[in-house]
Amino acid sequence: MLSLSDFKITARYPTHWGDMDQARHINNLIYLRWAETIRVVYFEAMEMNTSFAPGGIGPILAWQDAKYIFPMTHPDTAVLGVRATAVSADRFTLETAIFSEQHQRIAAITQQIIVPYDYALLQKAPLPAAWVAAIEKLA
């Protein structure tokens, strides 16, 4: 089973009352927002240029999934860890684990496939060598 110690990059996000759905659980979309936020933290740790300047190569989300394991409620704090789990010539996969601080257990696991995208040509690009080196450094 995953634990927070499996991740070099972590972050904490407090829940908000408005994050809950009608069943008084944190809405599923909130878990994906947390995963999106820590994904950008991972990109920053890679020293990736996320400004999407004309002519630049930047990340684009190609696919994601989520497995909801334990329903969090408010008040609580989500503690997230993110890591790369696979790298290929034109993409890499991130895994994000979301833990409930209050209950000291995992609440959800998400995976995302990130593709390098050439924003000038509006098409997929090869995985930059600098990205591969950064991912290896963060492993």
Question: What does the pLDDT look like over 92-109, one tens digit per residue?
Answer: 999 999 999 999 999 999
**pLDDT at position 49, please?**
75
Average pLDDT over residues 23-42: 97
**pLDDT at position 56, please?**
84
pLDDT at position 136 over 70: yes
Phi/psi for 41 (5° steps) reads -60, -40
pLDDT at position 15 over 90: yes
Q: Structure tokens of 118?
A: 């050439």
Nearest Cα neighbor of 71 from 23, 32, 107, 97 is 107
H/E element, 41: helix 28-45
Average pLDDT over residues 37-55: 85
Name the CATH superfamily housing domain 4-133.
Answer: Hotdog Thioesterase (3.10.129.10)
CB 98 within 8 Å of CB 34: yes
Average pLDDT over residues 123-132: 96
pTM of the model: 0.94
Phi/psi for 120 (5° steps) reads -85, -45
**pLDDT at position 39, please?**
97
